[in-house]
Structure 1
Amino acid sequence: MPIDAMDLDLPMRSAWILLGMAGLVFLAIMVAWAIAIERIWSGRPVIPTRSGDPVPWGGPQVFACFFLWQVATLAAASVLRARRGADAEPNLIDAMGAVALINLAVLIVLPALLSRWNKARAIDFGLARNRVGRDVMLGVLTAIFCLPLVYSVQFMAILVWPPTAHPLQEMLFEERSPWVMVLAFFSAVIFAPAAEELLFRGILQGWLEKRFGVTRTAIAQAEITDPTMIELQPGLDPRVANLTALVVPAAIFALVHFGQWPAPLPLFVLAIGLGLLYRRTKSIVAPIAAHATFNGLSTVAMIVVVSMLPKVDPDVVPMPGEPGVSAPEGEAVEPEAESIQTGESAESAARPTRQSHPNVESV
């Protein structure tokens, strides 16, 4: 039976645009997998390993960075609560703007503090002018390579748990102005990936790899000679050290996005890929590019769909391709500090959750 626009609940033009986008993404995935298979077939590593020195900061500085991040989150929540009054409903645009400002502050303040405390340099974050372009390309290809893995986990997860609405989707439904779309793009595609990769990969994983003896120089040397050359903490197995330094940041990263359950499950898979990318390149540039690519594909698709839907009550408009389930009524309201951190409003947690776009990344 032929399918028309009424069957899709979308203008046919929207369906063709989304189909074209899906085709381009599928083609890009095929290219990324072909490159990876060719490198494996020829005996080369999929991601080349670079050498480098351990990061100069230690545990107290890592704790201080995460503490300051949480203080900024709580302060932003307090300011927003004071601005709107005790009885007023939370404003998603204000919350998303606060998230963007917090992430921008993280990118400016934390490197400056680490520079002052530990004499950290740009190269300690892997920032080298002569390899930024290569790292960006490697990050984009890694994100595209990981897409089938991440979304397969997401698909299986939403078969078990009802997905919660993404805060970015809610904001775009409530206000579809060009300014809001620009805010969504900058917050989700630029500021959030850069700040989160700085925190979780650059600062936390970098310190864990030093703490557990998975030093940057030792990794590269051991691949050429003997794995036993890696100097570990006494009694620590090399595989345990490698796994711990990789899994702990990925797990914390996933838990930060717990408000969009079951998003933490596929996000954990994504974070493992980002961690491996950071370990191999010794740079936060490649993970930032991969994270931004992942967020960008989801955000652009969301903007296209929302902008082409008729403007009606967002509580009754499903996104195309959704599994047709929503969260149960009476869901508990999350603390406002968490809503600021993840971009989710308290209002959305208190009411029946809208059906979710298949985007697993939080802003």
Structure 2
Amino acid sequence: MGQILFGFAVLCLMALLLVICISGWSWSLRQLLRGEPILRQEAGQPISWGLIDIVATILIALTLMAGFQGIAMAVTGAKLPIKEESLDAVQQAAMILAFSGAEILSLLAVSGLIVVRGYGLQLFGQRGEKFFADLLLGIAAFGMLVVPTLILQAILAYLKPYEHPLIDMLVKDKSVPMAVASVAAAVVAAPLFEEFFFRGLFQGWLQDTVDGRLKVSNVLLGRVRWLSSDDAPPTETETVEQASEHEIITAVAAASEGENPFHSPIAAPAVPTTEYESPEVVRQRNVLQICGPILLSASFFALMHLGQGLAPIPLFFLALGLGYLYQRTRRLTPCVVVHFLLNGQSMALLLIQVFVLGEDAALIAN
């Protein structure tokens, strides 16, 4: 009976996702046929981090992982060399939690280094004012991306079985500590850290580099407010394109010389500020500037999942969608929502099969 109910629930979920997927792609196709983009390019400040921050994230993460796993070994009594078959459930859960904790702490550390430069984090919006809109956008994007990703993954699984060490350990031990650690790693740490690194730091840095929005020194070292001669960026209540004071005075003077002394001053032409992306910059992007950052970040994201069967192939196409989301919105919230929902639904189905139905599973937990 349990298997029947579980199968029915899965079918209902897939039907719902299929409806969202077909509706979303149909609307997107109509947009493209009208000559309109699927998502309009939103304005955003040039990033304030550089190549040094990307390297620092990798070094900090590796250092913290080694340190946290050393602590986990000391607490649980695990011995070197660490082998999966030699660890009990508690030791394996401790290692997974150490790995996840290192990812979250390295994210916070690098975020702090970026914030202290004076430009803000610039990853989730200035004050989170678009959080709920980004949440809905992420849910819609999840429905559009999850169905083709799962279908492609299911097809590839016939060629080579899907493999994931987290799934293997959970299926083998079927313990509560392992379940908690797996959820923390797959549903919390992975979406936050991977989107922060691959989409935010790496793709954001690549995009502004190829767009020419950064000086050579900024490309390498990032931007620091108190060392920069640039003016402070406009507030959220100001428009993206502001007219300079000199042009306003010139326009008013020109209007006052007209025949009608009561004629309203002519509005000064908008001047794109160097702090924000103007529509002209977006329209002038070539193919390399549009596709290059997305393709590179998606490729590295897929390569990070080597050793999991043929999973890097569907994950590459998933990452293309995530990269497009970030490029158009300049915010990570929609990407994190998609990643969270994808891993969350996979982990939920896996836990139900392992703990409720008592069967081994081969579902996906990216």
- The residue number in structure 2 matching 1:286 is 334
Asked whether the 8 Å contact 1:173–1:306 carries over to 2, the reply is no
Contact 2:203 2:294 in 1 (8 A): yes
Q: Tell me the distance in 2 between the aligned counterparts of 1:192 and 1:36.
A: 29
Please list the CA deviations of residues 181-237 of structure 1 after superposition, one character each: whole Å capped at 9, or x if unmatched.
4543343223321111111111111111122126595573345xx52xx5xxxxxxx
1:259 positional shift: 3.0
Shift of 1:66: 1.8
Partner of 2:106: 106
Q: For the aligned residues, what is the CA RMSD?
A: 2.7
- The answer to whether structure 1 residue 240 and structure 2 residue 317 are counterparts is no
Aligned to 1:138: 137
Q: Is the 8 A contact 1:144 1:294 kept in 2?
A: no
Aligned pairs (5 A) from 1:170-181: 170-171=169-170, 173-177=172-176, 180-181=178-179
CA contact (8 A) 2:326 2:332 kept: yes
- What is the distance in 2 between the residues matched to 1:309 and 1:106? 37
| 2:5 counterpart residue number | 13
Deviation at residue 172 of structure 1 after TM alignment: 5.3
- Correspondence for 2:312: 264
Q: 1:143–1:85: structure 2 CA closer, same or farther, 3 Å change rule?
A: same
Instruction: Specify the alignment match of 2:271 in structure 1.
Output: none
Task: Give the counterpart letter for 2:153 in structure 1.
Answer: Q
TM-aligned CA distance change 1:170 to 1:21, over 3 Å: farther
Taking the TM superposition and a 5 Å limit, the aligned residue runs for 1:1-363 are 11-40=3-32, 43-82=35-74, 83-86=77-80, 88-89=86-87, 91-116=91-116, 118-123=117-122, 125-168=124-167, 170-171=169-170, 173-177=172-176, 180-213=178-211, 215=213, 217-218=276-277, 220-223=279-282, 226-227=283-284, 230=285, 238-310=286-358, 318-319=360-361, 356-357=362-363, 359=364, 361-362=365-366
Distance in 1, Cα, partners of 2:70 & 2:168: 24
Range moving further from structure 2, 243-252 or 85-94: 85-94
Distance 1:258 1:154 in 2: 14
Q: Say how many residue pairs are matched.
A: 297
Q: Distance in 1 between matches of 2:25 and 2:124?
A: 28
Contact 1:205 1:249 in 2 (8 A): yes
- 1:288 and 1:52, CA in 2 relative to 1: closer, same or farther beyond 3 A? same
CA deviation after TM superposition for structure 1 residue 81, in Å: 4.3
Q: CA deviation at 1:50?
A: 0.1
Q: Is the 8 A contact 2:54 2:202 kept in 1?
A: yes
Equivalent pair of 2:174/2:354 in contact (CA under 8 Å): no
Would you say the 8 A contact 2:57–2:107 is kept in 1?
Answer: no
1:89 maps to a residue whose letter is L
Deviations 1:114-163 (A, max 9, x none): 223x3340335534322111111111211210123222331332232232
Specify the SS of the correspondent of 1:114. Answer: helix
Q: Is the 8 A contact 1:278 1:287 kept in 2?
A: yes
Relative to structure 1, is the Cα distance of residues 81 and 264 closer, same or farther in structure 2, using a 3 angstrom cutoff?
farther
Instruction: Label 1:99 to 1:125 Cα distance change in 2 as closer, same or farther (>3 A).
Output: same
Once residues 183 and 80 of structure 1 are traced to their aligned partners in structure 2, the CA distance between those partners, rounded to angstroms, is: 13
| Residues in 1 aligned to 2:186 and 2:206: alpha-carbon distance in whole angstroms | 27
Compute the displacement of 1:288 (Å): 0.8
* Whole-angstrom CA distance in 1 between matches of 2:276 and 2:307: 38
Query: Following TM superposition, by how much is the alpha carbon of 1:166 offset from its aligned partner in structure 2, in angstroms?
Result: 4.8
Of 287-296 and 34-43, deviating more is 34-43
| Counterpart code for 1:24 | L
Using a 3 Å threshold, how does the CA distance of structure 1 residues 126 and 11 change in structure 2: closer, same or farther? same
1:21 and 1:124 map into 2 onto residues whose CA distance is 31
Equivalent AA in structure 2 for residue 163 of structure 1? Y
Query: Is the CA contact 2:187–2:343 (under 8 Å) kept in the aligned structure 1?
Result: yes
Q: Secondary structure in 1 aligned to 2:153?
A: helix
Contact 1:274 1:287 (C-alpha < 8 Å) held by counterparts: yes
**Alpha-carbon spacing, 1:156–1:110, altered in 2? closer, same or farther (3 Å):** same
- Taking structure 1 as the reference length, what is the TM-score of the superposition? 0.72
Kept in 2, the 8 Å contact 1:76–1:98? The answer is: yes
Task: For residue 96 of structure 1, report the CA deviation from its aligned partner.
Answer: 2.3
Could you tell which deviates more after superposition, 42-51 or 265-274?
A: 42-51
Q: Does the 8 A contact of 2:64 with 2:106 survive in 1?
A: no
In 2, the alpha carbon distance for the partners of 1:156 and 1:140 equals 25
| TM-score calculated relative to the size of structure 2 | 0.72
Structure 2 vs 1, CA of residues 165 and 65 (structure 1 numbering), >3 Å: closer, same or farther?
Answer: closer
Q: Is there any run of 5+ residues in structure 2 with no aligned partner, and where? A: 214-274
